[in-house]
Structure 1
Amino acid sequence: MDYLLLKYLHVIAAIFLFGFGMGSYLYLIAAHRTGDTRVIAAVARLVVRFDAWITTPAGALQLLTGYAMVRLTGMDWSGGWLLAALLIFFGVGALWLPVLALQKRMQALAAQACASGTPLPAGYQRLYRCWLWMGVAGFAGMFLMVLVMVSKLAPWQWF
């Protein structure tokens, strides 16, 4: 496959990964702030769906196109910036998988509360706080990864 096509797909995947991920994150925060179980359940259901159908496949495409570009160009896998980008990518991925599970559980708890006409349980609040801070860490990692890939410098090479 042509390098420029791979690079194009890689950038598009990054846009989808970052854009849909951030959109989902912000919408679920906004829904949570309403305190309305109907709103939270509905938005969380959509966030889970979009993350499964768009964000997660974009992450897979990101990895596949990156791998193909490295193979095509013969780059050294242990090169500073490439190694840093991979470590950050897998670190963010390690946060992403539990976030998906937390979102599904939060959606189920909000739907139960909505159906029974009760407030959100304390367990929901604990899940939300964990989800929120994992999101902060994940997006910090994504910002760092984009910086590494654009600068082609590992963080330890910046100084």
Structure 2
Amino acid sequence: MLYLSVKYVHVIAAIFLFGFGMGSYLYLIAASRTANPQVIAHVAKMVVRYDAWITTPAGFIQIATGYWLTRLSGVPLTTDWVLMSLILFFIVGSLWLPVLLLQKRLLGMAADAVQCGARLDADYRAVYRQWFWMGVCGFLGMFVIVLMMVTKMTPGQWLQLM
């Protein structure tokens, strides 16, 4: 029963990590497309808050419960799919802190534009592009991690099956 309980928490954390992360990503993309600093500042404030309060803790819960599951099931951390999942998780995680910082910069730039009654400039668009492409890379990594968790195979093993 302990294993199933931990697995349940692990899956819920994955849903929160992926779901809230993707939701905030898409909301900030939609807000940025309006080019309206007031809309962007409002949405970015919520995105920064929810990523700090929900998405980030879900990542820590994900790694803790994943480790606990390997211990409970006796699966070594060196098992191909586990090791590759961990490596990819830490690569995606290494994108996360810069993404959070870029989100805060976008928020600050939009809030400053609102306060000054100005439009967003090329600096905003440059930071936004950086944030956008880091998000693309991060979510591609998350898709691969979830696929490995479900299939218990590495991408190389999937290709061998084709």
Q: TM-score range by the shorter chain?
A: over 0.9
Q: In the alignment, which residue of structure 1 is the partner of 2:67? A: 67
Displacement of 1:3 = 0.4
Equivalence map 1:1-159=2 (5 Å):
2-158=2-158, 159=160
In the alignment, the residues of structure 2 paired with residue 156 and residue 113 of structure 1 have an alpha-carbon distance, to the nearest angstrom, of: 48
Aligned-pair identity (%) = 61
Q: Which amino acid aligns with 1:115?
A: Q
Please state whether the residue corresponding to 1:12 is helix, strand or coil. helix
**Could you list the per-position Cα deviations for residues 22-42 of structure 1 after superposition, in whole angstroms to 9, with x for gaps in the alignment?**
000000000000111000000
Q: Which amino acid aligns with 2:106?
A: M
In the alignment, the residues of structure 2 paired with residue 20 and residue 91 of structure 1 have an alpha-carbon distance, to the nearest angstrom, of: 19
Report the RMSD for the aligned CA atoms in angstroms: 0.9
Q: Report the count of equivalent residues.
A: 159
In the alignment, the residues of structure 2 paired with residue 50 and residue 90 of structure 1 have an alpha-carbon distance, to the nearest angstrom, of: 21
In the alignment, the residues of structure 1 paired with residue 116 and residue 132 of structure 2 have an alpha-carbon distance, to the nearest angstrom, of: 26
**Could you list the per-position Cα deviations for residues 38-78 of structure 1 after superposition, in whole angstroms to 9, with x for gaps in the alignment?**
00000000000000000000001000100111112221111
Structure 2 segments unaligned to the other structure (5+ residues): none
Kindly indicate whether the alpha-carbon contact (under 8 Å) linking 1:109 and 1:121 is maintained by their aligned counterparts in 2: no
Structure 1 segments unaligned to the other structure (5+ residues): none
Q: Which amino acid aligns with 1:57?
A: P
In the alignment, the residues of structure 2 paired with residue 63 and residue 115 of structure 1 have an alpha-carbon distance, to the nearest angstrom, of: 40
Displacement of 1:109 = 0.6
Kindly indicate whether the alpha-carbon contact (under 8 Å) linking 1:28 and 1:44 is maintained by their aligned counterparts in 2: yes
Displacement of 1:121 = 2.6
Q: Which amino acid aligns with 1:124?
A: Y
**Could you list the per-position Cα deviations for residues 95-148 of structure 1 after superposition, in whole angstroms to 9, with x for gaps in the alignment?**
111000000011001000010001113211110000000101100000000001
Please state whether the residue corresponding to 2:75 is helix, strand or coil. coil
Please state whether the residue corresponding to 1:119 is helix, strand or coil. coil
Please state whether the residue corresponding to 2:47 is helix, strand or coil. helix
TM-score, length-normalised on structure 1? 0.98
In the alignment, the residues of structure 1 paired with residue 60 and residue 124 of structure 2 have an alpha-carbon distance, to the nearest angstrom, of: 29
Structure 1 segments of 4 or more deviating over 2 A? none
